[in-house]
């Protein structure tokens, strides 16, 4: 076993760079990793898929998310719900999840255009009062 200090010089290590961190709410230096977790009804949470983002690959985090989800579904995993933060709440991702008949719950930014009725659209921030039971959009 070897323990060594990895280089944090972005010129010497390809995968180290500057990335926005949702945890820190700013740009930080590090390795950009996204992880798909599975949580059961007993609150046991385990990582089931991950990607180390290589900027030279040219894929977005959303493309990686869809590939990761499709891969775990091909393994036979049958989640009831897919949840995520607003970074992953793009219409393309939501339609992808709906294609597999999975429930979904995502945070959305307040400037997002939504529709609870066909033909009627507004920004999230324009809704004064939300029903406590939630609103399907």
pLDDT in tens, the chain (137 residues): 445 455 566 666 777 888 888 788 899 888 889 999 999 889 999 999 999 988 889 999 999 999 999 999 999 999 999 999 988 999 999 999 999 999 999 988 888 888 877 888 888 888 777 777 766 76
Query: Considering only CA atoms, which of 109, 110, 112, 129 is closest in space to residue 121?
Result: 112
The structure's pTM equals 0.79
Sign of CA dihedral 98, 122, 86, 62: positive
**For residues 57 and 15, what is the distance between their CA atoms, to the nearest angstrom?**
11
């Amino acid at each position: 076993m070897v323990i060594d200090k990895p280089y944090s010089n972005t010129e010497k290590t390809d995968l180290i760079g500057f990335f926005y961190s949702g945890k820190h709410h700013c740009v930080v230096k590090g390795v950009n990793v996204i992880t798909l977790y599975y949580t059961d009804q007993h609150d046991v949470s385990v990582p089931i898929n991950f990607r180390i983002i290589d900027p030279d690959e040219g894929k977005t985090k959303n493309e990686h998310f869809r590939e990761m989800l499709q891969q775990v579904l091909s393994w036979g995993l049958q989640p009831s719900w897919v949840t995520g933060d607003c970074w992953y709440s793009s219409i393309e991702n939501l339609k992808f999840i709906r294609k597999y008949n999975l429930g979904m719950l995502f945070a959305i930014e307040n400037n997002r255009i939504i529709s609870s009725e066909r033909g009627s659209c507004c920004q999230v921030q324009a809704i004064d009062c939300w029903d406590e039971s939630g609103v399907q959009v």
